[in-house]
Structure 1
């Protein structure tokens, strides 16, 4: 559906994490030309949904597929769309080898970095390097419509997980604080509906991370613990076994940040507070 003057959102079914069941594919267009932001999963229904919508908006010439990050609920569909639209696949240089694992034998033929601008006719899409969820995550700022494309840094359903090896909690919090400075009217998230309460939503995401961090600190103040012991203390039996890896990597992300901040130390896999 059309969500602003130049932005259209096509939610497509993907194997993503609950509570989300779809991933957003965005068209940014001036009516004549367009780019895709993200491409969803490699599935015939995804292809049909995006192409059908493209025809409904007048079949603008798609100049590129801009991938925010390599995760397979956002990226593999680019293999089909690059061929269908006869356009390049574009990603941050750090993401290229991981993206190409998902889209093989297609290749990334162009990269974007912080400060680049992609023009769709007279409409300018500003490129933001927004690490945190992944090291080479791209977000985009469309000042003409006041829209921030935040990928999984800010989502419309639930929260997002941040953990090693691709995630970095310190970088993530810095990215969230930076996203607040744009004064956006809208967030176009990787999952869920468009977000209008921009500052409140970003503050919520920051607050959730800091609350979890302090929970970890309190647990380590009681006694030194391993990551597995922290996971059990934080999540107990509230996490389904199929996504337990998310809980583990989330806690790993927190203790790594706390170690980097000089608040905890690790000896033989056991973490304890410093001082």
Structure 2
């Protein structure tokens, strides 16, 4: 559906993580020009949703597919769309090889760096290198509509997981602070509905990470603990076994930042202790 003058949000079915059940593909249009931001999973129904919607709004010329990151709920659909619309795939160079693994034999034809601008008709879509969820994650800023496209750095429901090998909590917090500096009226998240309370939402995500960090530090200060022990203490029975790996990597990500800050260190038996 159309969410601002130049932005359309299309939630499509993907194998993503609860509470999300869909991934947002965005169509940015101006005149007869358009780009897609993200491509979802390789799912025929999702492909058809996008194709039919573009026909409904006048079949603008899709000039590029801009992928925020390589995860399988965001990138594999580009294999279909690049052929259907006869357009190239763009991504950050740190994501290109991983994306090409998902969309082979299609290649990433053009890489995007922080500060680049993608022209969509007369619109300037500004490229932000926004590491945190992944090392080469891209976000976008559309000043004409005052929209920040945040991919999985900020989502509409729940929070996003940040942990190794893809994620970096220190980089993530820096990215969130940077996103606060834009005079956005809307956040267009990778999952969930458009977000109007921009500053409040970003502050919530920052506060949630810092709160979790202090919780983990306090648990380690009580006594040295392993990652598994911390997962049990922090999440207990709140995480389904199918996604326990997300909890483990989240704990690992916090421990890496705490160690980098000189607050904890790895002791004997894979346990972490305060410094």
Report the counterpart of residue 137 of structure 2 in structure 1: 137
**Separation in 1 of the partners of 2:33 and 2:238?**
47
TM-score using structure 1 length: 0.99
- Contact between 1:11 and 1:22, CA under 8 Å: does it hold in 2? yes
Q: What CA deviation, in whole Å up to 9, does each residue of 1:70-109 have, x standing for no partner?
A: 0000000000000000000110000011111111111111
SS in 1 for 2:200: helix
- Contact between 2:31 and 2:121, CA under 8 Å: does it hold in 1? no
SS in 1 for 2:165: coil
SS in 2 for 1:76: coil
Give the alignment's Cα RMSD to 1 decimal.
0.6
User: What are the within-5 Å matches in structure 2 for residues 50-89 of structure 1?
Assistant: 50-89=50-89
Report the counterpart of residue 273 of structure 1 in structure 2: 274
Structure 1 residue 267 displacement after superposition: 2.8
Structure 1 residue 147 displacement after superposition: 0.2
Q: What CA deviation, in whole Å up to 9, does each residue of 1:103-126 have, x standing for no partner?
A: 111111110000000011110000
SS in 2 for 1:58: coil
Structure 1 unaligned residues grouped into runs of 5+: none
**Separation in 2 of the partners of 1:19 and 1:211?**
21
- Contact between 1:116 and 1:127, CA under 8 Å: does it hold in 2? yes
Q: What CA deviation, in whole Å up to 9, does each residue of 1:188-230 have, x standing for no partner?
A: 0000000000000000000110110000011011001111111
**Separation in 1 of the partners of 2:158 and 2:54?**
29
Paired positions, count: 274
SS in 2 for 1:52: helix
Report the counterpart of residue 170 of structure 2 in structure 1: 170
- Contact between 1:31 and 1:58, CA under 8 Å: does it hold in 2? no
Displaced runs of 4 or more, over 6 A: none
- Contact between 2:41 and 2:72, CA under 8 Å: does it hold in 1? yes
**Separation in 2 of the partners of 1:109 and 1:120?**
18
SS in 2 for 1:205: helix
Structure 2 unaligned residues grouped into runs of 5+: none
Report the counterpart of residue 186 of structure 2 in structure 1: 186
**Separation in 2 of the partners of 1:71 and 1:26?**
16
Report the counterpart of residue 150 of structure 2 in structure 1: 150
**Separation in 2 of the partners of 1:239 and 1:118?**
40
- Contact between 2:8 and 2:28, CA under 8 Å: does it hold in 1? yes
Structure 1 residue 31 displacement after superposition: 2.8
Report the counterpart of residue 232 of structure 1 in structure 2: 232
TM-score using structure 2 length: 0.99
Report the counterpart of residue 259 of structure 1 in structure 2: 259
SS in 2 for 1:272: strand
